[in-house]
A and B are shown apart, each in its own frame.
Chain A
Amino acid sequence: MSREALYESLSAVMDDEADELELHRVLAAGRDDAEFRATWARYQLARAAMHKELLEPRLDIAASVSAALSMEDTPKVKIENTPKARRFSWGMIGRIAVAASVTVAVLAGVRLYNQSERAGAEMAQQSTQPSLPIPQAHGTPVLAGYTEGAEQPQASSPSEAEQDANWHEKRLPAYIRQHAQQSTVNGTESTLPYARSSSLENR
């Protein structure tokens, strides 16, 4: 399939106008093609900006998407015995759920590049204290503070990944703190490094 057609399908998916086949093509490309994934992420950002949506995949959204996905099999079974009109609506729900879950996954990947655009909203919402890298189920820590629900496609075997996460999780806070504090000692100006370092304290 041509690149152009693929991007057209992507637009359709994002507008919830894609058919089943298109959706699967886009999902497959999103899984295998990094460049395509990046484009998707950009589309997503642009669309969010146009719609003034907050890019905020909170835990509850991820959870509700997972719930929707796990329900997906049930309606498919039902399709055989249900009338046409109902089949259509069930199909739509399943499709939207899949598309939404992919969106969440993409957003998780986009965070690193997107953090500052969202900074304003994020800062305004944040009433709690800062947090250090949170234990990751799948290894590589992403952005501290936004790690919930982040997907790590490159995760290796669970036991290894677990060990990996622990290793970094134990050391990074100490490293970062030493970096910040040492800057207050060796730096000419001290206030900024001090503020950075104290923003790492308690949660």
Chain B
Amino acid sequence: MRFFSLLLLGGSLVMPAHAADAQNWLSRLLKAERQQSFQGVFVYERNGSFSTHAIWHLIGQNGGMRERLLKLDGSPAEMLRVDGRLRCVSSTSADQLIEEGAWPPRPLDPQELTNWYELRMVGESRVAGRTAVVLAILPRDQYRYGFELHLDRETALPLKSLLLNEKGQLLERFQFTQLDTSTTLAKERLEPGPACRPVKVLSAEGAEQDSWRSEWLPPGFTLRSVHAQPSPISGETLTYLMYGDGLARFSVFIEPLRGVPVEDARSQVGPTVAVSKRMATADGDMMITVIGEIPLGTAERIALSMRAAGEKAD
């Protein structure tokens, strides 16, 4: 691990000009979403699903951000975010979300990202009638997926984002079909409809931060938050951990089984894998479920490496 980082550090000292350019574009992208108002329509496509969405993104004069997203086909799912906080969401089920509170969101650091991904400019393209530059974000190991980003040449907004597996196969597509960065946004477009309900926010307290840990993580992934919440199904205490490497994310859910005979399971919804493994602990058997946009092998290995507090590796 340490050797690996040193190797990468050495590599970054002789970073070619185009890599610096790529990093520059990534920085511009991060800034663009905080500074640029826009409205548009995009499609989202994954294996088994295709949907269209409208987005209104307003940067106020004081720098405040207000963003409304509306699904245009099927049920009109909606979401409103104000200054990075989820205000309301329309959803078919009673959802609960955890207040970030003690675990503030960590801004993406393009420089840090280059430890785990190779950034490369790979050419130009045209998306939604606009000229775009194509930025490849390639994983340096087999533990995560790569991205292909098409950034608007004028504003650096992401016009298209493809998630690719290790064979270069497409796992999901996000792509604008129309984008307007010049017209002033109508205020009423940023008002949520009646179906958009405030989310139930769970307090971030109650979890012992060291109750569970992972013996193995892919390089660059760190714990982003730990929570304990009642399981919406059984009412048992569900331990919920989130990990990320800046781009990719996965969640670990740990639920007591109380003697119920349940087998291991794996499934996949588009780019998201879910791996469930049964584990014996001093408190009885637990089901550990790893969910994330990561390769199946990575999820398997993480699930196997989870340990309850005080338990040693096998």
Among residues of A, the one whose C-beta sits closest to the C-beta of B67 is A190
A86 contacts across to B, CB distance below 8 A: none
Residues in A neighbouring B84, C-beta threshold 8 A: 190
Stretch at the interface among A20-28, A93-101, A162-170: A162-170
Binary contact track A154-173/B, C-beta < 8 Å → 1, others 0: 00100011011001101110
- Please tell me which one of the listed residues B45, B55, B103, B291 contacts residue A186 in the complex, with CB atoms under 8 A apart: B103
Complex interface: chain A residues within 8 A of B25 (CB): none
Instruction: Flag whether B69 is at the interface (Cβ < 8 A).
Output: yes
A144 to B55, CA, bound (A): 28
A123-B291 contact in complex given A186-B224, A192-B174, A201-B77, C-beta closer than 8 Å: no
Q: In the complex, how many residues of chain A place their beta carbon closer than 8 angstroms to a beta carbon of chain B?
A: 58
**A2 contacts B by Cβ under 8 Å:** no
Is A199 a contact of B46 with CB atoms below 8 Å?
yes
- Bound-complex Cα distance A194 to B161 (A): 14
A185 within 8 A of B: yes
Quick one: closest B residue to A184, CB to CB? B86
Chain A CB within 8 A of B269 CB: yes
* B92 close to A115 (CB less than 8 A): no
B191 at the interface (CB under 8 A from A): no
Contact B67 A117 (CB under 8 A): no
Which residues of chain A are near B75, meaning CB under 8 Å? 201-202
**Cβ of A144: which chain B residues have Cβ within 8 Å of it?**
48, 267-269
Q: Which of A6-14, A37-45, A56-64, A127-135 lines the interface with chain B?
A: A127-135
**Residue B30 lies at the interface, judged by CB distance under 8 Å to chain A:** yes
**Total interface residues in chain B, CB < 8 Å:** 82
Least distance between B148 CB and chain A CB atoms (Å): 13
B45-A123 in contact (CB<8A): yes
Complex: chain B residue closest to A146, CB-CB? B48
Q: Is A34 an interface residue (CB 8 A)?
A: no
- CB of A15, distance to nearest CB on chain B (Å): 27
A144 CB, nearest partner CB in chain B, Å: 5
State in angstroms the CA–CA spacing of A160 and B89 once bound together: 37
Q: Which residues of A contact B47 (CB under 8 A)?
A: 115-116, 119, 122-123, 143, 145
B residues 56-107 near A (Cβ < 8 Å) are 67, 69, 71, 74-75, 77, 79, 81, 84-86, 89, 91-93, 95-98, 100, 103, 105-107
Residues in B with CB closer than 8 Å to A160 are: 261, 263
For A191, give its contact among B69, B261, B264, B292 (CB under 8 Å): B69
Question: Shortest distance in angstroms between B56's beta carbon and chain A's nearest beta carbon?
Answer: 12
How far does the alpha carbon of A167 sit from the alpha carbon of B79 in the complex, in Å? 30
Indicate if the CB atoms of B91 and A201 lie closer than 8 Å. Answer: yes
Q: B265 near A: Cβ within 8 Å? A: yes
Q: How far is the CA of A36 from the CA of B39 in the complex (A)?
A: 53
Are the CB atoms of A140 and B50 closer together than 8 Å? Answer: no
Name the one of B79, B103, B105, B265 contacting A187, with C-beta atoms under 8 angstroms. B105
Interface pair A119/B170, CB less than 8 Å apart: yes
In contact, A171 and B74 (Cβ under 8 angstroms): no
Interface: B171 (CB within 8 A):
yes
- Tell me if A175 is interfacial: C-beta within 8 Å of chain B: yes
A184 in contact with B79 (CB, 8 Å): yes
Contact between chains at A171 and B233 (CB < 8 Å): yes
* Chain B: CB-nearest residue to A202: B75
Distance, CA A198 to CA B199, complexed state (A): 15
For A156, the chain B residues whose CB sits under 8 A away are: 263
Q: Which residues of A does B touch, CB under 8 Å?
A: 112, 115-117, 119, 122-123, 126, 129-133, 139-146, 156, 160-161, 163-164, 167-168, 170-172, 174-192, 194-196, 198-202
The 4 closest A-B pairs by CB, nearest first: A116-B169, A130-B49, A145-B48, A195-B44
